[in-house]
């Protein structure tokens, strides 16, 4: 029986069709998806913190309204992704507990502080920009609920990237001080955004198996190169540079070759010792605890509604 299930699973993957929640799947496929989709969901929610930091200080009412909408979108992305993870047989409470206790991760990028208004533009352009490159690939992932969540998220992310670039365009046309603020933000966010794609393929634990299962369709290094090729000309259009003395355009390959990534920094952040790791988790845990009464009230209300409709029936 198990062999038949495996054959059916392999055929579905081979035919580029989707695996759905009620289909049989290997345990490793399920646990890899729980790990990756939960990490993705946690990133969306933790990612609200560095941006929310600037809602009260946005320079105009319009910028404030746009930023509030963007941060709300991130919460929505977290919800779609937690729902997709729940279809794999794990509860939202368990996922929260695993994040709070450090047993699940979130993207390294959100462990850096947002020091200036230009950082909000840089996050939209560079961070959401990197997320889009990764997520366009993930629209073709083999797990149905994850793939469908990605389609909707990508549409919203492209608005996010544009709003970020629009903030930076305004600064690029501004005073010398604003231009310096813009360049400083790029200098600080450039390398961390390249690290979002994960370790080199040769050091990636999961890529080979995830590509076989078609969870990932393009490797970490190939996605990173696509991102650099698309982003460097956009930096130049802003009249800015990226902080990489080894960056140069290779006529023969048609790609931007870039310098070495500081993997020590990456692993330090991933292991919980980046500039903002503790603050991010402490804040997340506090908000979860403070909000317990809201969850309890929602459950009590739902139970009351359900018992009323049973009585009427």
Q: Which stretch binds ligand BYC (CB under 6 A): 18-26, 91-99, 112-120, 127-135?
A: 127-135
Q: What is the DSSP string of the chain?
A: -HHHHHHHHHHHHHTTPPB-TTS---HHHHHHHHHHHHHHHHHHHHTHHHHHTTGGG-SSHHHHHHHHHHHHHHHHHHHHHHHHHHTTS--HHHHHHHHHTTSS---GGGGS---SHHHHHHIIIIIHHHHHHHHHHHTT-SBHHHHHHHHHHHHHHHHHHHHHHHHHHHHHTS-HHHHHHHHHHHHHHHHHHHHTT-S-GGG-SSHHHHHHTTS-SS-HHHHHHHHHHHHHHHHHHTT---S-TT-EEETTTTEEE-----HHHHHHIIIIISTTHHHHHHHHHHHHHHTHHHHHHHHHHHHHHHHHHHHH-
Q: Write the interaction track for ligand BYC spanning residues 135-174; mark x where CB under 6 A is met and - where it is not.
A: ----------------------------------------
User: Smaller CB distance to ligand BYC: residue 39 or 163?
Assistant: 39
By CB under 6 A, name the one of 92, 179, 206, 255 that touches ligand BYC: 206
Query: In the structure encoding, which two tokens stand for residue 288, read together?
Result: 């979860």
> Using the rule CB under 6 A, is 274 a contact of ligand BYC?
no
Nearer to ligand BYC, 66 or 196 (CB): 196
Q: Is 44 in the site for ligand BYC (CB under 6 A)?
A: yes
Q: Which is nearer to ligand BYC, 130 or 312 (CB)?
A: 130
Instruction: Compute how many residues bind ligand BYC; rule: CB under 6 A.
Output: 30
Residues 68-87 that bind ligand BYC (CB under 6 A): 74
Nearer to ligand BYC, 95 or 196 (CB): 196
Could you tell me which residues come within 8 angstroms of residue 42 by beta carbon, excluding any fewer than 6 positions away?
Answer: 78, 95, 99, 104, 105, 106
83 or 241: whose CB is closer to ligand BYC?
83
For ligand BYC, the closer CB: 135 or 183: 135
Q: Using CB under 6 A, which of 38, 120, 133, 195 touches ligand BYC? A: 195
Which span sits near ligand BYC by CB under 6 A: 21-29, 43-51, 86-94, 179-187? 43-51
For ligand BYC, the binding residue among 204, 230, 241, 285 (CB under 6 A) is 204
- Interface residue list for ligand BYC (CB under 6 A): 35-36, 39-40, 43-44, 47, 51, 74, 105, 107-108, 123, 127-128, 131, 134, 195-199, 204-207, 210, 216, 220, 270
């Amino acid at each position: 029986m198990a062999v038949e299930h495996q054959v059916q699973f392999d055929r579905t993957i081979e035919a580029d069709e989707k695996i759905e929640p009620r289909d049989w799947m290997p345990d490793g496929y399920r646990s890899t998806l729980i790990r990756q989709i939960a990490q993705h969901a946690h990133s969306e929610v933790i990612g609200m913190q560095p941006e929310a930091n600037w809602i009260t200080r946005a320079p105009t009412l319009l910028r404030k309204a746009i930023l509030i909408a963007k941060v709300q979108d991130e919460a929505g992305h977290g919800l779609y992704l937690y729902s997709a993870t729940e279809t794999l047989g794990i509860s939202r409470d368990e996922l929260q507990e695993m994040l709070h206790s450090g047993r699940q991760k979130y993207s390294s990028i959100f462990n850096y502080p947002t020091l200036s208004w230009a950082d909000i533009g840089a996050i939209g352009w560079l961070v959401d920009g990197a997320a889009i490159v990764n997520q366009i690939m993930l629209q073709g992932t083999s797990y149905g609920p994850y793939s469908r969540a990605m389609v909707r998220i990508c549409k919203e992310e492209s608005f996010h990237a544009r709003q970020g670039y629009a903030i930076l365009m305004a600064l690029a046309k501004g005073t010398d001080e604003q231009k310096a603020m813009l360049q400083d933000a790029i200098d600080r966010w450039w390398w961390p955004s390249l690290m979002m794609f994960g370790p080199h393929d040769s050091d990636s634990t999961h890529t080979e198996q995830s590509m076989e299962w078609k969870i990932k369709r393009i490797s970490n290094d190939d996605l990173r190169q696509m991102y650099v090729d698309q982003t460097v000309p956009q930096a130049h259009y802003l009249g800015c540079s990226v902080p990489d003395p080894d960056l140069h355009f290779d006529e023969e390959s048609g790609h931007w070759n870039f310098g070495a990534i500081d993997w020590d920094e990456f692993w330090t952040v991933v292991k919980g010792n980046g500039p903002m790791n503790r603050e991010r988790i402490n804040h997340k845990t506090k908000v979860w605890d403070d909000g317990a009464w809201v969850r309890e009230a929602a459950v009590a209300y739902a139970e009351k509604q359900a018992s009323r409709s049973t009585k009427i029936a």
